Structure 1
Amino acid sequence: MVFFSFNEIKSKETLIGLVLGQILSLLSTSISFTTSELARKGINAPTSQSFLGYLLLAIVYGSIMLYRRPVVKAKWYHYFLLALVNVEANFLVAKAFQYTSMTSVMLLDCWAIPCVLVLTWVFLKTRYSLMKICGVVVCIVGVVMVVFSDVHAGDRAGGSNPVKGDLLVIAAATLFAVINTSEEFFVKNADRVELMSFLGLFGAIISAIQISIFERDALNAVNWSIEAVLPYLGIAICGFLFYSILTVLLKTNGTAMFTLSLLTSDMWAVLIRIFAYHEKVDWLYYLAFATTAIGLIIYSMKENDQEKQRSGEVVDEERKLLDEEDGDSLRDRLIDAST
């Protein structure tokens, strides 16, 4: 839902960002679909669902890092804190599926957009125009409409407590905004393999501790047949691919591009709910999605204008420097001629 000019579409970096963003969107939808299925089967162990993904990251990228033996560029406790927040954010999302529908979870992900804007404004001192702020406000209106649609839909919302589930998703989206902004900083200032290695290592350790304390009884009560194991393996593989591609997209296109790309997963969530679950979607969902789409269009259009304005400012600044250099050279030549 981002408008690009023809020249922007021809850009290799833009095309790569669009493709990677949609792959991440499909992976996110697949993870949400599988997590929702586990919740429907009564498997109440949200942390265990992401453990194998972290373990896979630690094994693959940890092996690459040990082979390279590079110097660690960031403090280990920074990665530990990042992994801790990441584990808890995934926990909140998985927990939310026990209370609300998959459609609500996917739509409420757009709450990360204003969170990213606030974080960049506070920590990166980024200035935003009035039009951009209006686009974000419209997106927030769409989020609020999702919550009201769950209240209006009642038992058709696909969960026992839709409002509680929505609040869990909003909290998780806030944490993911912090995580994605931090990951963008690490991939641009540290190393991508280093980030994935420590994220997987600390994520697996934290998840294992949390599982042993809070989810042991729930896992023991599960009948571990092939039908129960396959969803865990699917989530692990999708999670590994998701984080691997995510770091590439963050490095090339940034957090905003990633956050906007994930919003296309809403369409897949609605289609899955209609055709796979055979459930009726409340009419407010469509209105909420349309409202969010309008907000994204406003945000994206102004984002492009702002980037062009910044590029123009850089060009003007370079011209000023060149003029100053030319003036200095001319003055030096006149002085030499007079002498």
Structure 2
Amino acid sequence: MVLFSLNEIKKKETLIGLVLGQIISLLSTSISFETSELARKEINAPTSQSFLGYLLLATVYGSIMLYRRPVIKAKWYHYFLLALVNVEANCLVVKAFQYTSMTSVMLLDCWAIPCVLVLTWFFLKTRYSLMKISGVVVCIFGVVMVVFSDVHAGDRAGGSNPVKGDLIVLAAATLYSVINTSEEFFVKNADRIELMSFVGLFGAIISAIQISIFERDALNAIHWSSEAVLPYIVIAISAFLFYSTLTVLLKTNGTAMFTLSLLTSDMWAVLIRIFAYHETVDWLYYLAFATTAIGLIIYSMKENDQEKQRGGEVVDEQRKLFDEEDCDSLRARLIGAST
């Protein structure tokens, strides 16, 4: 019999990770709920829904960074590329609500789990035990069941084209895995204030350009009232809190913990769909919930101590790379000045 490691659960960082993970899960559900409401009102302007969140990040964290005046630890174009992928991933998720149900969007996010494990193993050199990999495999079965559920339920699953929506969500989840792995690297080797400032700044700029080109007509066609404005405000505040909490969780517990924490948002999504939308949930969803829950339990069993030790060694190696880059840059400046 496999027993839970009680000593691991008692550790401070694990408890912090569990609490922060559930806060993020609730914020993710709130964003998905409001996005689904805008989709129901036929407001098709996906990029505009993220713009205020990026603007809020840039304003708050940018002000903190200007006050502190720190030395920039990473290249600006790295943050630009990260913000670009972030904007497009958010746009894909919002677009998916036009085709499939909120429940499917939330469930299919767990596709990011195997993607995160592969990326952290390859780039961050994190090693996972066989027990954790087995839990991930079980979670993947839950993803497959969601797709079959939408095919089986047809229009009852919500949306005009559930299968197309599912594929869009899978693409977005893949991009999110790249984003979260990159953010874990930056918060552990650079600075979280710097990360949020630049992602917010570049995200707002990219979103504004994309809105002016592709979504101007859609926004002009909207009858702006309190019912239309309120979801945008809720999404902006929730997104700000989401990213703020996310960087803390990534620094303390890593990308895999964050991705797994989002699985509990599926349960919140089902409750919203049943009680707020008064919709019927296909029976395969319940089987998918059970499968993903079992996978999460398997993943949480007895932590491999070598994984954490190896992760610490890799962080030290990555910090050395940053230091070496800074030394090379300083050396080049001194040579240029002397000549």
Q: Tell me the TM-score normalized by structure 1.
A: 0.88
Residue number in structure 1 paired with 2:304? 306
Residue number in structure 2 paired with 1:179? 179
Aligned equivalents of 2:211 and 2:129: distance in 1? 45
Can you list the C-alpha shifts for 1:266-302, whole angstroms capped at 9, x where unaligned? Answer: 100000000000000000001111111122222222x
Q: CA separation of 1:145/1:47 partners in 2, compared to 1, >3 Å: closer, same or farther? A: same
Which sections of structure 2, spanning at least 5 residues, go unmatched? 313-339
Residue number in structure 1 paired with 2:321? none
Residue number in structure 1 paired with 2:6? 6
Aligned equivalents of 2:190 and 2:123: distance in 1? 18
Residue number in structure 2 paired with 1:200? 200
| Contact map agreement 2:100 2:158 (CA 8 A) in 1 | yes
Percentage of identical aligned residues: 88
Residue number in structure 2 paired with 1:147? 147
**Larger Rg belongs to:** 1
Task: After TM superposition, give the deviation of residue 5 of structure 1 in Å.
Answer: 3.5
Task: After TM superposition, give the deviation of residue 4 of structure 1 in Å.
Answer: 5.2
Task: After TM superposition, give the deviation of residue 310 of structure 1 in Å.
Answer: 6.3
Can you list the C-alpha shifts for 1:210-259, whole angstroms capped at 9, x where unaligned? Answer: 10111011000000111111110100000000001111111111111111
Aligned equivalents of 1:4 and 1:296: distance in 2? 13
CA RMSD of aligned residues (A): 1.7
Residue number in structure 2 paired with 1:114? 114
Q: How many residues get paired?
A: 309
Aligned equivalents of 1:147 and 1:86: distance in 2? 25
Aligned equivalents of 2:225 and 2:303: distance in 1? 54
Residue number in structure 2 paired with 1:287? 287
Aligned equivalents of 1:309 and 1:216: distance in 2? 49
Can you list the C-alpha shifts for 1:117-160, whole angstroms capped at 9, x where unaligned? Answer: 11122223344444433322221111011001000000101110
SS at match of 1:70: coil
**What pairs with 1:148-163 in structure 2 (closer than 5 Å)?**
148-163=148-163
Q: Does 1:87 align with 2:87?
A: yes
Which sections of structure 1, spanning at least 5 residues, go unmatched? 315-339
Aligned equivalents of 1:65 and 1:180: distance in 2? 22
SS at match of 1:263: helix
Q: CA separation of 1:213/1:178 partners in 2, compared to 1, >3 Å: closer, same or farther? A: same
Which residue identity does 1:199 align to in structure 2?
V
Which residue identity does 1:306 align to in structure 2?
N
Q: Tell me the TM-score normalized by structure 2.
A: 0.88
| Contact map agreement 2:8 2:303 (CA 8 A) in 1 | no
Aligned equivalents of 2:220 and 2:8: distance in 1? 53
